[in-house]
Amino acid sequence: MKDLFLYPKDVDSFGFDWGRLALTVAPEVNGASRFSGGVVDLPSGQGHSRHNHPGAEEIIFVISGEGEQMVEDESGNPVTRTVGPGCTVYVPESRFHSTRNTGAGPMQLFVVYSPAGPELGLRELPDFRLIPAGQ
């Protein structure tokens, strides 16, 4: 039986210059078939640049910290809002978006991708490194 209860420290993480993503729900982690998700940690002043996930929707839930979230509207115009704990951001299918931690401390998010898979493309980024579980 695959793990149904996981903490971010229990799984390998995707490390980047801007932070890290620990996938705690995914087909390769515990057999999820329709979505994937995990915890993103962004140090103060860091964030990920404008990007999209072709064919996939995303949910971003702010656990802690403060930042600026950009999501393009239907016409491709950037819409930026200040976000903090408890805010849920919906990123429609294939829509460009970015997140930046503007707070003094760390920012933590929980992200969900549907369908699963677009997050695996992050392995192709030049600053990608695999961080073993527990580190």
> For residue 120, what pLDDT band results from cuts at 50, 70 and 90?
confident
What are residue 15's DSSP bridge partners? 20, 129
* pLDDT(12) > 70: yes
Which pLDDT tens digit goes with each residue over 64-88?
999 999 999 999 999 999 999 999 9
Q: What is the mean pLDDT of residues 32-61?
A: 95
- Whether a cis peptide bond, with omega within 30° of 0, leads into 118 is no
**67 - beta bridge partners?**
83, 101
- Domain assignment of residue 47, yes or no: yes
**CATH code, domain carrying 96:** 2.60.120.10
Structure tokens at 58: 């995303």
The confidence score (pLDDT) of residue 101 equals 98
Strand partners, 58: 91, 113
Whether the per-residue pLDDT at 122 is higher than 90: the answer is: no
71 within a domain of the structure (yes/no): yes
The pLDDT score that the predictor gives to residue 1 is: 54
* pTM greater than 0.85 (yes/no): yes
In-domain check, residue 5: no
Domain of residue 64: give its range: 10-103+113-127
In tens, the pLDDT along 84-103 reads 999 999 999 999 999 999 99
Q: What is the tally of structural domains in the chain? A: 1
Tell whether 108 is covered by a domain: no
Strand order in the sheet with 88-91: 88-91, 57-64, 107-114, 36-42, 19-25, 13-16, 129-131
